[in-house]
Amino acid sequence: MKGLSLSLRGAEYDGVSISELYELEEKGRTGASQGDQEMSHDFDGKLLMKMAITAGDIDRVAAQYGDQDIGEMAVSINRAIYDWISRNAYNECVRKKMPRNKCIIPEGVKETLNYVDRTYNKWTGEERCTWLLGIKEPYAHSTFLNDVTACFHRLTEMVEKRATEEEVVVKKCRMKEGGNRTLFDACKKWNRKVEDMKRQGLYMEDDYRPLLGNVLDSKAVFVVGSSPGHRTHVDLAEGEIRYYDNDRPVNELMRDILGETGLKCKVKEDGVECKGLTEENLGSAVERLAVATSADYRLGDPDHFWPEDLMGKCMVKVDYRSPKYKVEVEKCLLKESGLIG
């Protein structure tokens, strides 16, 4: 469903209400138009904080779905607002109850707002989202409020467009209009393996709940755990998989099991980097991303997750003196259980 009218804005961007974004924008425009009124914490402070927090919420959703354009735009707005309301100049204006059009914006804040324009230009090709920055001087709080609200409006439009695009959803896999079907099929294989591992009690519930595969064009982003940043980027066009984690044993496990699909993988400081991804090994490689979820818990306490008979078999097979003993035991358990071939 596309092009929602103003009266039908009931859509959400994974919990972020589109209608509430427009309501917040309207409050910003109201405040900007009332330049002769005194600044106050009850209006200006609460409005700007709400706008900044909402931009942060949008960024978190964008990170989950791989919407880099929306995420960068949201972060730039969030920073510009916090830059202004955290300054002594802003607090002095509020304390003195200065009119909005008399409270002057420092040069540093203007530069942070200029970065919002540059971010908007980067992703849309349009010159700017502000109207008066660099044009109207002196540049006052009412002018800043007008400009940051204008940029928030552009962000809202981006969010609304993305939220109302046609989308294919199969359990934990989602694909936006124009997404790669082969990559979506690989996501569905990952989803089946996820459900299989969950049924066998190999996941922590908090890790299972946020799992998501989001297919874009020739790229996909997989949320593989509950920790912030615990995700994997798959780029079929570039032939790469990038798994992000700072747990060395888990990274060694993922390097080894992904490498068994024909990928060339190496452990990095923040995860695992694999090259050589093709349509032929895509399904088997993406399917194995299911192993990453709760792997740190299984490595730390395998007896809690695996059946006793499998544990006994693998503990005998693996040399306990090996520095990778826990990783090798986990690989054995995954293979003996039939979860990976």
- 269 closest CA partner among 236, 242, 239, 238: 242
228, pLDDT greater than 70: no
pLDDT of 229 reads 66
Least confident of 14-28, 161-175, 182-196: 161-175
Q: What tens digit of pLDDT does each residue of 283-339 get? A: 999 999 999 999 999 998 998 999 998 888 888 777 777 778 889 989 899 998 889
- Residues 82 and 88: their CA atoms lie apart, in Å, by 12
For the chain, give the mean pLDDT: 89
Residue 156 — very low, low, confident or very high, per pLDDT cuts 50/70/90? Answer: very high
Q: Which of 2-16, 124-138, 278-292 has the lowest mean pLDDT?
A: 2-16
Beta strands 167-170 and 16-17, pairing class:
unpaired
Question: Which pLDDT belongs to residue 164?
Answer: 73
| pLDDT for 52 beyond 90 | yes
Place of tokens 């800043």: 144
Residue 281, pLDDT > 60, answer: yes
User: Which region among 35-49, 57-71, 120-134 has the lowest average model confidence (pLDDT)?
Assistant: 57-71
pLDDT score of 9:
34
| Beta strands 271-275 and 264-268, pairing class | antiparallel
Q: Is the peptide bond before 138 cis (omega within 30 degrees of 0)?
A: yes
Whether the CB-CB separation of 235 and 273 falls below 8 Å is answered with no
pLDDT, residue 175, reads 85
Which value, in Å, is the radius of gyration of the alpha carbons in the chain? Answer: 25
Beta-bridge partners for 234? 220, 241
| Type of residue at 65 | Y
Q: What percent of the chain has pLDDT over 70?
A: 96
Query: CB 48: neighbour CB atoms within 10 A?
Result: 23
Cα–Cα dist 110/53, whole Å: 20
Q: What is the 3-state secondary structure (H, E, C) of the chain?
A: CCCCCHHHCCCEECCEEHHHHHHHHHHHHHHHHCCCCECCHHHHHHHHHHHHHHHHHHHHHHHHHCCHHHHHHHHHHHHHHHHHHCCHHHHHHHHCCCECCCCECCHHHHHHHHHHHHHHHHHHCCCCCCCCCCCCCCCEHHHHHHHHHHHHHHHHHHHHHHHCCCEEEECCEEEECCCCHHHHHHHHHHHHHHHHHHHCCCCCHHHHCCCEEEECCCEEEEECCCCCCCEEEEECCCCEEEEECCCHHHHHHHHHHHHCCCCEEEEECCEEEEECCCHHHHHHHHHHHHHHCCHHHHHHCHHHHCCHHHHHHHHHHCCCCCCCHHHHHHHHHHHHCCCCC
| Length in residues, the chain | 341
pLDDT value for 317 = 78
Q: Quick one: pLDDT at residue 276?
A: 94
Mean pLDDT for 107-118 is 96
For the segment 9-34, the average pLDDT, to the nearest whole number, is: 86
Pull the structure tokens for residue 60: 């978190």
Residue with tokens 């032929």: 280
Do the beta carbons of residue 11 and residue 166 sit within 8 Å?
no
- The better pLDDT of the pair 49, 229 is held by 49
> Which residue shows structure tokens 């974004």?
21
Reply yes or no on whether the pLDDT at 168 is more than 80.
no
* Cα–Cα distance, 276 to 264 (Å, whole number): 6
Taking residue 205's Cβ as centre, other Cβ atoms within 10 Å add up to: 9
Split at pLDDT 50, 70, 90, the class of 166 is low
pLDDT for the residue 314: 86
Q: Let me know: does 24 contact 50? Beta carbons within 8 Å.
A: yes
On the question of pLDDT at 12 being above 50, the answer is yes
pLDDT surpasses 70 at 86? yes
Q: How confident is the model at residue 171 (pLDDT cuts 50, 70, 90)?
A: confident
Comparing 8 with 44, which gets the higher pLDDT? 44
**Is this prediction's pTM over 0.85?**
no
The pLDDT of residue 167 is: 67
- Residue 174 CA to residue 223 CA, distance in Å, equals 12
**Residue 4 in this model has a pLDDT that exceeds 70:** no
